[in-house]
Amino acid sequence: MATAGDIVVNLTANSTKFTSGLKKAEHELGAFTEKILELGTEIGTAVAGFLAFEKIKEIFEETSDRLAKLAGESERLGISAQSLSEIGYAAKLSHTSIEALTGGLRKMEAVLGKAGIKADAKETFLTIADAVKQMTGAGQFNQAGNFVRGIFGKGGQELLPLLSRGREGIQALGDEFREMGGGDMDAMAEGGAKIE
């Protein structure tokens, strides 16, 4: 029969073995956790790399598409891709969509064509901008609105914030566009059109 002393000795020995086994398991679990975290980091890096590549590919394709469209649109409108890009930049800063701008330029060309007037699209647009700036500066907002609608159609209203800048304001933003790296858009648009 075991005595109380034997039981205490056996329990102490067993608890020491248990504690030792527990510490060993804890150490192994820690090492396993570190390996999982390292693997997760490697997988995360690989996924991030893949996503970055996909984003770069998407940006390239989108830019290529835009340049091809820019080349086609500038050719249809009779305005250089550079000029269209500069005016487009000014339009964006005037809260005017590029769609409203190109639609307005198409309408302007049609109106001028019906009147038998063949003129440089950029120069004509900037001359109209000066007239609109003069009207809005004199508080003749209704007249400016009617004038713009007569040339650019119903969508011309969206062009008013851009046109109200006048020639100098639009050209200043065009200069800013070039200074920010909006280089030779004609060559880029031609290259973009070739990529298609």
What's the pLDDT at 147? 93
Is the distance from CB of 173 to CB of 93 less than 8 angstroms? yes
What's the pLDDT at 121? 85
CA distances from 96 to 83, 130, 160, 161, 162 (A): 16, 17, 9, 7, 7
CA-CA distance, 132 to 161, in Å (whole number)? 10
What's the pLDDT at 64? 46
Amino acid code (one letter) for 89 = Y
Is the distance from CB of 27 to CB of 34 less than 8 angstroms? no
Domain count, the chain: 1
Q: What is the pLDDT of residues 97-143, one digit of tens each?
A: 888 988 998 898 888 889 888 888 889 999 999 999 999 999 999 99
Give the closest residue to 158 by CA, choosing from 120, 102, 85, 74. Answer: 102
pLDDT averaged over the chain?
75
Q: Which domain holds residue 98?
A: 1-196
Is the distance from CB of 146 to CB of 74 less than 8 angstroms? no
Q: Which of 23-37, 67-81, 177-191 has the lowest mean pLDDT?
A: 177-191
Q: What is the pLDDT of residues 33-80, one digit of tens each?
A: 777 777 667 776 666 666 666 665 554 455 445 545 666 777 777 888
Angle at 109 between CA 105 and CA 113, to 5 degrees: 170
Amino acid code (one letter) for 108 = M
